[in-house]
Homo-oligomer: A and B are copies of this chain.
Amino acid sequence: MNTHDLIRELREPATTKIVLLVADGLGGLPLEAGGRTELETASTPNLDACARDGVTGLSIPVLPGITPGSGPGHLGLFGYDPLEYRIGRGILEALGINFAVGAKDVAIRGNFCTLGPDGTITDRRAGRPTNEKNKAAVEKLRTIKLPGVELFVEPVKEHRFVLVIRGDGLGDRVNDTDPQAVGIAPLMAEGQDAASAKTANLVNQFVAEAVKVLASEGPTNGITLRGFATYPKIATFTEVYGLKAAAIAVYPMYKGLARLVGMDILDPGNTLHGQVDTLKKVWHDYDFFFIHFKYTDSSGEDGNFPAKVQMIEKLDAIIPDILKLKPDVLIVTGDHSTPSKLKSHSWHPVPTLLLADTCRPDDVMEFSERACLRGGLGQFEAKHLMLLAMAHAKRLGKYGA
């Protein structure tokens, strides 16, 4: 039986509240043998108290050894099997800028780049144009028309934009045209099936037109495209869990992921304190709150171990404000590990804590990778976390007589 169908069958109305605090890329590694991870190095008195009073474990985002991107990482935490639901990057980007993507759309991430006289790329980010410059260039792209489809071009920021092609029978199995290198020309788009070939053909026409209309735009005189994606079929949070859910995230990608599963997207400004203030403001309006903290991941991606430690301590500092609201269930976890040592996402299981009145005690007294190994949740698949959240929130009835 499908897990979502099981939840639909067993769920019960309740007034309980669940907070899912995702510290992006939370898990880490020691820099040297015998050393401590970022989380083990950080001083986290509040998270440690939660670990002591609640139950801990390690979340496996997809499968052992599989390193997830942000999409699969979050889908798993939201209770959607990341091997079943595949969300393309273009769709995420479009959702993140509030673009209402629909069933007939192919969404594509675009970068402005600088092309030399021979048509090869000299700067993959077009000198990181200002947002104003980006908007001006996007206006030029909006003049392009192609037969049989609608085109939408939306600015993101700096060198980034979104292109959406709306039409019948468009596929998304198209290669990135960004060669990820300078000194060579953007690649031609090619489709891996008939529907995707149709998309690729349109894209190649669009790129050719783009070069003409951008010719006078200085360093933003070319484009590359990547992350071709059609809209996925996915049931919403309300349909599956009966939860009215709010996303309190700063970055577009995470807003996009949350919108995809039907969460309301709130605007908390740019700081963690703004996020907590937003949480307080809307506390009575929702059942479920997804709070996304980006900087544990970005410091890890930068390979900046001390910065990641500091970001974890910043996260720890807001825990008391969340606890004051008395959530019935508080979960702190990450969508994946991002060890500073690796400067990238990794497959390592993610330290996770769940705090509720119904936790069975384990012997864990602190929140760390090593301590979570002894936790009562064991090592579990991320996609099962929402089942635990629903159970501890007393929102699931008994299965079978």
Q: Which residues of A contact B (CB under 8 A)?
A: 1, 3, 6, 10, 27, 29-30, 33-35, 37, 53, 58, 62-73, 82-84, 86-89, 92, 227, 341-342, 344-348, 358, 360-363, 369-370, 373-374, 376-380, 384-392, 396-401
Contacts and interface: CB of A to CB of B under 8 A. Distances in A.
Given A64-B377, A65-B388, A347-B391, 20 more contacts: A6-B63, A6-B83, A10-B66, A29-B360, A30-B361, A34-B361, A65-B389, A65-B396, A66-B391, A66-B399, A67-B391, A68-B399, A69-B399, A70-B401, A89-B401, A227-B401, A361-B370, A362-B370, A373-B376, A374-B374
B345 A398 contact: yes
A86 B387 CA distance: 20
A86 B6 CA distance: 12
Contact of A72 (B53, B62, B399): B399
A369 to B, nearest CB: 6
A71 B384 contact: no
A-B pairs with lowest CB-CB distance, top 3: A65-B387, A89-B401, A65-B391
Contacts of A344: 398
Contact of A373 (B346, B369, B374): B374
A387 to B, nearest CB: 3
Contacts of A65: 384, 386-392, 396
Contact of A69 (B30, B35, B82, B401): B401
A29 B37 CA distance: 32
A376 B184 CA distance: 46
B378 A87 contact: no
Contacts of A72: 399-400
Nearest to A377: B64
A386 to B, nearest CB: 8
| Highest count of chain B CB atoms <10 Å: which of A6, A64, A392, A396 | A64
16 contacts: A1-B84, A27-B360, A29-B358, A30-B360, A37-B360, A62-B399, A65-B386, A65-B387, A71-B400, A82-B399, A86-B400, A87-B400, A88-B401, A342-B358, A347-B388, A347-B396
Contacts of A62: 399
| Highest count of chain B CB atoms <10 Å: which of A68, A83, A360, A370 | A360
Given A33-B53, A83-B6, A69 B398 contact: yes
A256 to B, nearest CB: 11
Nearest to A390: B65
Contacts of A363: 370, 373
